[in-house]
Amino acid sequence: MSSAERSILHVDMDAFYASVEQRDNPDLRGKPLVVGGGSNRGVVAAASYEARDFGIRSAMPMAEAKRRCDHLVQVKPRMSHYKEASKSIFAIFHEFTPLVEGLSLDEAFLDVTASVKLFGSPATIATMIKQRVLEDTHLTTSVGVAQNKLVAKIASDLDKPDGLTIVMPDSYRERLDPLPARVIPGIGRETLKRLQRINVVTVRDLRTAEDRDLEPIFGRFTQKTRDRASGLDDRPVIPNREEKSISAEETYDRDLSKPADMERELLRLSERTAARLRKAALGASTVQVKIRRADFTTYTRQRSLKPPSNGTDQIYEAARELLAGWLSSNPGAKIRLLGVGGSKLAPAAQADLFENDGMRDGHSAIDDTVDEIRQKFGPLSVGRAKTLDR
Ligand SMILES: [Mg+2]
């Protein structure tokens, strides 16, 4: 059985929409806040932890939320900002494993079984991901670490916010038994009512109930339900889709105003994007630069790359030209976010056709060395000298 043991993370952003609002507007920090539609008829899409102290939850009618807290702050959703943060977060997930199954903008399963060799234990990977997400997006996450999706998802919820909870088989009973039966997937409100009628309230009750009591409720899913209540789950992590582009971006605490600082950041981002392309054995035919000004206006510039490449230098050169072009028409701009991406991806073998000057797959020996060191010591272990003077 141990050869089939898997390491699964469930990563879940804390009060995601509300946290993005509090991050972007300091006036909202520490306040009970809900994100949701404009009228009283709307429902709460997300509630800050301060609002949750008043018993306010997502999906609650807005009028009810306001009744519970008279100084509740209501903010209209800004989906484009949440999507933006989500992209950054998923880009980080993909640095640790290609097996990322997104459940929503702010939640994903990661199968890191094969990543352990490169980065360390699943708990270490979870810690690195939490740290990277915090650095890049200034948002906190809660991570559950387990051997399957079911337990990982339950675990991520046990110590929110900013949690990291590991639940291994030897503690299934201790950790799962006391929880309400609704934590088991597939148990909705109607089923809960029926379970209550047979005195099944907790996971333990569900695990130990008689078949003759469960069968009228779960039918042919009775055994499966009991397995779930015992922490058993063999569903694989299914990556959502092939990547159409690979990118890295960062939002800065302080706006960048010096071109030299922008270039240094651009190199760091190019390095990350290029390393991910190399890991995926892909070359980019197009390089994009994303630039967000301090006033939130966002620009993208792109150019093609011939031959397609996954070399840090090639991608950085293209990105630098794009930034220089943009700066010439936006002199003195202050920049809040920078991103570098590669798209129109081709298998790296195709880039090989253009091999020359000691380049392999359109990248150089130094790229291989950097990749090797990062594989041994983690993604933060090495950068080029120019990127280190932060
Ligand atoms: Mg969440």
Question: According to the model, what pLDDT value does residue 307 have?
Answer: 85
The average pLDDT across 1-23 equals: 88
Residues of the chain with CATH 3.30.1490.100: 245-387
Question: Is pLDDT at 377 greater than 50 in this prediction?
Answer: yes
Question: According to the model, what pLDDT value does residue 353 have?
Answer: 37
The residue written with tokens 């009970």 in the block is 32
The C-alpha atoms of residue 232 and residue 147 are separated, in whole angstroms, by 9
Summary mean pLDDT of the chain = 88
CA of 255 to the centre of ligand 1 (A): 28
Buried residues in 303-336 as b, exposed as e (16+ CB within 10 A): eebebbbbbbbbbbebbbebbeebeeeeeebebb
The C-alpha atoms of residue 22 and residue 169 are separated, in whole angstroms, by 38
Residues of the chain with CATH 1.10.150.20: 171-229
The C-alpha atoms of residue 229 and residue 168 are separated, in whole angstroms, by 14
Question: Is pLDDT at 352 greater than 50 in this prediction?
Answer: no
Give the least confident one: 186-190, 192-196, 216-220, 279-283: 279-283
Q: Which fold has domain 16-78?
A: MutS, DNA mismatch repair protein, domain I (3.40.1170)
Question: Is pLDDT at 66 greater than 70 in this prediction?
Answer: yes
Question: Is pLDDT at 312 greater than 90 in this prediction?
Answer: yes
Question: Is pLDDT at 183 greater than 50 in this prediction?
Answer: yes
Residue 59: pLDDT band (50, 70, 90) is: confident
CA of 157 to the centre of ligand 1 (A): 9
CA of 83 to the centre of ligand 1 (A): 13
More confident position, 301 or 354? 301
Question: Is pLDDT at 384 greater than 80 in this prediction?
Answer: no
Pair 178, 206: CB distance under 8 Å: no
Residue 379: pLDDT band (50, 70, 90) is: low
CA of 55 to the centre of ligand 1 (A): 17
The C-alpha atoms of residue 202 and residue 181 are separated, in whole angstroms, by 5
Judge whether 107 counts as a catalytic residue.
yes
CA of 79 to the centre of ligand 1 (A): 15
Residues of the chain with CATH 3.40.1170.60: 16-78
Question: Is pLDDT at 350 greater than 60 in this prediction?
Answer: no
Question: According to the model, what pLDDT value does residue 39 have?
Answer: 58
Quote the crossing angle between the two packed helices 365-377 and 259-279, to the nearest 10°.
80
CATH number for the domain whose boundaries are 245-387: 3.30.1490.100
Catalytic residue among 50, 84, 107, 249: 107
Residue 351: pLDDT band (50, 70, 90) is: very low
Pair 65, 39: CB distance under 8 Å: no
Torsions phi, psi for 130 (to 5 deg): -60, -40
Pair 265, 360: CB distance under 8 Å: no
Report which of 294, 380, 291 is spatially closest to residue 341, judged by C-alpha positions. Answer: 291
pLDDT digits (tens, 9 = 90+) for 275-285: 988 877 778 99
Question: Is pLDDT at 389 greater than 80 in this prediction?
Answer: no
CA of 187 to the centre of ligand 1 (A): 20
Question: According to the model, what pLDDT value does residue 358 have?
Answer: 40
Q: Which fold has domain 171-229?
A: DNA polymerase; domain 1 (1.10.150)
The average pLDDT across 190-211 equals: 95
The average pLDDT across 6-33 equals: 97
CA of 171 to the centre of ligand 1 (A): 25
CA of 216 to the centre of ligand 1 (A): 34
Q: Above pLDDT 90, what percent of the chain? A: 68
Question: Is pLDDT at 146 greater than 50 in this prediction?
Answer: yes
CA of 140 to the centre of ligand 1 (A): 10
* C-alpha triplet 238, 186, 49: angle, nearest 5°: 85
Question: Is pLDDT at 372 greater than 70 in this prediction?
Answer: no
pLDDT digits (tens, 9 = 90+) for 106-145: 999 999 999 999 999 999 999 999 999 999 999 999 999 9
